Structure 1
Amino acid sequence: MAGTQDEGPERVDGRRLRYQHRREELLQAATEHVLQHGLDRLSLRRVAESAGVGHAALLHHFGTRERLVAEIVERVLDRAFTAPELLDGAPAGEPEGGPLRALWRHATTGRGEQYVRLFLAITGDALHDEALAGAVRRSVRERTGMLEAGLVREGCPPQEAGALATLVLGAMRGLVLDRFVTGDAARVDAAFEEFVRGVELRLARSSP
């Protein structure tokens, strides 16, 4: 009997891990679907088909479409406007380098662009949806805090970093929206470069 008791928890934990792994696969499949088609066109049946499972499997793991949407939103908000170079504190003095340029490249190309496009769509919906608004507020606070820490590393006085981080994130959101909607990448990229140079000049004046 003792052996059976020792083995029981291991079997339960192993089963739970398998379920968790499958749940992550389904959440990623749903996120991919939304990145391609948007939240408004999210269909549990289509997600289930793309993941190779039955509709009941999605309901088992997420319960309702609303709960699945909430988890997708959290994932998208966590992955938009982030770049490893920013966290690493890359030098800002080089014309083609620096954390802000790295963040811009990440937000306007490849996977980063997909997440930022959906981030902007969610932000727009949040104007009329308090549940989404709460998630967006949390995400903006986190993005601003990340930028604030990066700016302090670059020499910005801590007492000024919060306001400057807010300005940077707001400017980037506006510029990237302009870029996506108009398709005029050259004009918007040039405007962003002018903005970054202004930030760099301010940081240079603040450095001891």
Structure 2
Amino acid sequence: MADTDDEGTERVDGRRLRYRHRREELLQAATEHALAHGPARLSLRRIADSAGVSHAALLHHFGTRENLVAEIVERVLDRAFTAPRVLAGEHVPDEEGGPLRALWRRATTGEGEAYVRLFLAVTGGALHDEALAGPVRRSLRRRTEVLEAGLLRAGCPPARAGALATLVMGTLRGLVVDRLVTGDTARVDAAFEAFVRGLERQREQW
């Protein structure tokens, strides 16, 4: 725990410094377990077995299952529907398709798709589990705010930016669910492209 010396300067317990990296390793292992097995199997014992540590080690670092699950959820949600340049507010050139296409590529390929798949499972679970609901609400607000800021930078009228960002976020989620459940990638990708082109036509009027 933190302490202070005789001059009132805060000191950090050396044990915390030693454990800090181990805690990160455990959180990453727990996140990978969740990606592989879904949120329904997030018990401390299953996660401990998957990470190759004792049940007591997880309790030492995270206290309770609820604390650990909350941190896993925060990490998963932070990496779903996220393209690093978009999240950082950087410009994505038109020749690269712009920010929405960058988000779509990230959400529908490789590691990004795995995080989005778990994001959707967690979002559904949040309807019945208050421990999941808080992190989900925060994540959705954050993503909507990122999209809203991008729309404002693109010239969207401020009075419309919030509603349009919500529409974009909801459409992305719905299309990804359709894509994952049906496997009809060509149809859903075409629907996404039609949606983006409609937004681009709106942008010409701003």
Instruction: Report the AA paired with residue 140 of structure 1.
Output: L
Deviation at 1:40, TM superposition (A): 1.1
State percent identity of aligned pairs. Answer: 77
Alignment partner of 1:90 is 2:80: no
1:10-159 → structure 2 map (5 Å cutoff)? 13-86=13-86, 87-91=89-93, 93-94=94-95, 97-159=97-159
Report the TM-score when normalising by structure 1.
Answer: 0.87
8 Å CA contact 1:89–1:154 kept in 2: the answer is no
Preserved CA contact (<8 Å) 1:48 1:54: yes
Contact 2:123 2:136 in 1 (8 A): yes
Q: For each residue in 1:104-131, what CA deviation from the matched residue of structure 2 results, as whole angstroms up to 9, or x when unmatched?
A: 0011111111111111111111112233
Contact 1:35–1:118 (CA under 8 A) maintained in structure 2: yes
- Asked whether the 8 Å contact 1:123–1:136 carries over to 2, the reply is yes
| Cα shift at 1:13 | 3.9
> Which structure has more helix as a fraction of its residues?
1
- Deviations 1:142-183 (CA, angstroms, capped at 9, x unpaired): 000000111112221222111110110000000000000001
3-state DSSP of counterpart to 2:204: helix
Q: Which amino acid letter does the alignment assign opposite residue 188 of structure 2?
A: V
> Cα distance 1:66–1:130, how it changes in 2: closer, same or farther (>3 A)?
closer
Give 5+ residue unaligned stretches, structure 1: none
Q: Distance in 2 between matches of 1:89 and 1:157?
A: 19
Q: Partner of 1:163 in structure 2?
A: 163
Give the drift of 1:11: 8.9
What is the root-mean-square deviation of aligned Cα atoms in Å? Answer: 2.0
